[in-house]
Amino acid sequence: MLSSVNGSVRQFLSFNQRPQRLLHLTPRSQFQEMGSHFDFLTKKPYSPPSWASRLSPIPSHYFSLGHFPTPIHKWNLPNLPNNTEVWLKRDDLSGMQLSGNKVRKLEFLLADAVAQGADCIITIGGIQSNHCRATAVAARYLNLDSYLILRTSKVLVDQDPGLIGNLLVERLVGAHVELISKEEYAKIGSVALTNDLKEKLISEGRRPYVIPVGGSNSLGTWGYIEAIREIEQQLQTGPAEAKFDDIVVACGSGGTIAGLSFGSWMSSLKAKVHAFSVCDDPDYFYDFVQGLLDGLEAGVASRDIVNIQNAKGLGYAINTSEELKFVKDIAAATGVVLDPVYSGKAAYGLLKDMTENPEKWEGRKVLFIHTGGLLGLYEKVEQMGSLVGNWHRMDVHESVPRKDGIGKMF
Ligand SMILES: Cc1ncc(COP(=O)(O)O)c(C=O)c1O
């Protein structure tokens, strides 16, 4: 038994150790048309949409890591302004353990890591970082080790971080978790922290590749440039009424809105992009996004192509009970479960704005991008306990016969 298990592990590893051998020469769009079922985890040559072809640098390859295209459907939210429609792009369905918006960035970032001959990935984020979890899974798929620097509170930094939410997946796939207190993180900064770990790993003979917070650098920006091409293609074959005036999305580290707003501006979409920031102030993000766009020689000003509003509330990853009740009410009304840290706050901010300024949204068709993050809800179970109900001990009618030994399980 043991030897057959080892055999299959060996087979799996040798399959993964040779990603280059899986290289296909078919461009992404043709691949989608062919409907190939074998392209997952393969490395493919990349060619950009025509409207992005003057960007520089253009990535040469990407790894197919997500299940794309993700669906778009109408989202029947209650109490919308007159004639306002909200549609949902389900990037939360881009995968299972490897899901959400980060997958799109990782397709490009990990292709670069493999091209550079890396044997491990370093990245950094909050203790429930979806990005770190997605990176750990994607890295493992490609036979790369992962080192995650996770920010936590001073009182928890010396303790086992447990297995809640994203941590469960990260630790199952064997990520190396390095805890840092919020105070140390604030004093040292994410760049110096990742560099420090990089030096240490190099001195041990490893070949690390560093991915910045949230996968947000100019290379990662291609993930959401591609998402715009995907939406354009979906609209060509979708229902005639699905032509969007606005795109709404959460902003946490800036890469998603950089790609979306550049793409929407340059492509045929021309939808106005509204970002709801969940951590830093809009001014910080206008500057940060500008840096990402400049890194691609985009030649556009962030302030012209995206509108950023503050939806931070009490602070990053901290929720009011009103926000959590909103997540619960939206799930109960529409079946769509939002995460509490990103899309939950963005949708809350959007509906608040629609209530306060209905004239701004009346008659508009809005595409909300659900960026995933479901596992983050597990950290909120205590806070959410009083909001859910609907349980009681089953009342079995007394006339139903009871006999020993029947119906043991099935
Ligand atoms: C679930 C989820 N949604 C949205 C975001 C924000 O995306 P970005 O970091 O590209 O701004 C993140 C990460 O920060 C995320 O994990």
The residue out of 214, 245, 272 marking a domain boundary is: 214
On whether both 285 and 296 belong to a single domain, the answer is yes
- For residue 32, what are the contacts with CB-CB under 8 A and spacing of at least 6? 68, 69, 233
- The Cα 362–Cα 109 span in angstroms is 39
Residue numbers of the domain that contains 336 = 62-96+217-383
For 129-154, what is the mean pLDDT?
98
On whether both 285 and 359 belong to a single domain, the answer is yes
377 CA from centroid of ligand 1 (Å): 14
Decide if pLDDT at 240 tops 70.
yes
Query: How far is CA 124 from its chain centroid?
Result: 15
Q: Are 110 and 139 in contact (CB under 8 A)?
A: yes
The residue nearest atom 16 of ligand 1, judged by CA position, is 130
For 23-30, what is the mean pLDDT?
44
- Of the candidate ranges 33-47, 191-205, 313-327, 342-356, the one whose mean pLDDT is the lowest: 33-47
253 CA from centroid of ligand 1 (Å): 6
Residue 128 CB less than 6 A away from ligand 1: no
Decide if pLDDT at 321 tops 70.
yes
On whether both 280 and 379 belong to a single domain, the answer is yes
Residue 130 CB less than 6 A away from ligand 1: yes
pLDDT band at 405 (very low <50, low <70, confident <90, very high): confident
On whether both 373 and 246 belong to a single domain, the answer is yes
- pLDDT for residue 404: 83
For 23-36, what is the mean pLDDT?
47
Residue 253: count of CB within 10 angstroms of its CB:
26
Decide if pLDDT at 239 tops 90.
no
The residue out of 194, 214, 234 marking a domain boundary is: 214
251 CA from centroid of ligand 1 (Å): 6
Query: Is 225 contained in some domain?
Result: yes
* Helix 218-237, helix 102-115: angle, nearest 10: 130
Query: Is 5 contained in some domain?
Result: no
Residue 373 CB less than 6 A away from ligand 1: yes
275 CA from centroid of ligand 1 (Å): 11
On whether both 109 and 241 belong to a single domain, the answer is no
Residues designated as active site: 129
Q: Are 302 and 91 in contact (CB under 8 A)?
A: no
Decide if pLDDT at 1 tops 50.
no
On whether both 111 and 224 belong to a single domain, the answer is no
Which residue out of 107, 309, 338, 371 has the highest number of ligand 1 atoms within 8 Å of its CB and is therefore the one to mutate? 371
Query: Is 40 contained in some domain?
Result: no
Residue 253 CB less than 6 A away from ligand 1: yes
370 CA from centroid of ligand 1 (Å): 10
* Ligand 1 atom with minimal separation from the 373 CA: 1
* Ligand 1 atom with minimal separation from the 255 CA: 10
148-177 confidence digits (pLDDT tens) = 999 999 999 999 999 999 999 999 999 999
For 374-394, what is the mean pLDDT?
93
Query: Is 7 contained in some domain?
Result: no
pLDDT band at 28 (very low <50, low <70, confident <90, very high): low
The residue nearest atom 1 of ligand 1, judged by CA position, is 373
- For residue 338, what are the contacts with CB-CB under 8 A and spacing of at least 6? 327, 330, 331, 344, 347, 370
pLDDT band at 406 (very low <50, low <70, confident <90, very high): confident
On whether both 273 and 127 belong to a single domain, the answer is no
Sign of CA dihedral 224, 227, 231, 232: positive
The residue out of 151, 185, 214 marking a domain boundary is: 214
State how many domains the chain has: 2
Query: Is 83 contained in some domain?
Result: yes
10 CA from centroid of ligand 1 (Å): 35
Q: Are 275 and 307 in contact (CB under 8 A)?
A: yes
On whether both 128 and 206 belong to a single domain, the answer is yes
Which residue out of 90, 102, 281, 292 has the highest number of ligand 1 atoms within 8 Å of its CB and is therefore the one to mutate? 102
Residue 135 CB less than 6 A away from ligand 1: no
State the CATH number of the domain containing residue 182.
Answer: 3.40.50.1100
- pLDDT for residue 155: 98
Decide if pLDDT at 199 tops 70.
yes
The number of residues in the chain equals 410
pLDDT band at 232 (very low <50, low <70, confident <90, very high): very high
Query: Is 258 contained in some domain?
Result: yes
67-119 confidence digits (pLDDT tens) = 999 999 999 999 999 999 999 999 999 999 999 999 999 999 999 999 999 99
For 318-329, what is the mean pLDDT?
96
**pLDDT, the chain, mean:** 91
Residue 255 CB less than 6 A away from ligand 1: yes
On whether both 372 and 236 belong to a single domain, the answer is yes
Query: Is 182 contained in some domain?
Result: yes
Query: Is 247 contained in some domain?
Result: yes
85-90/72-74 β-pairing: antiparallel
On whether both 272 and 170 belong to a single domain, the answer is no
On whether both 109 and 80 belong to a single domain, the answer is no
On whether both 221 and 345 belong to a single domain, the answer is yes
The residue nearest atom 3 of ligand 1, judged by CA position, is 371
- Written as one letter, the residue type at 116 is Q
pLDDT band at 230 (very low <50, low <70, confident <90, very high): very high
Residue 372 CB less than 6 A away from ligand 1: yes
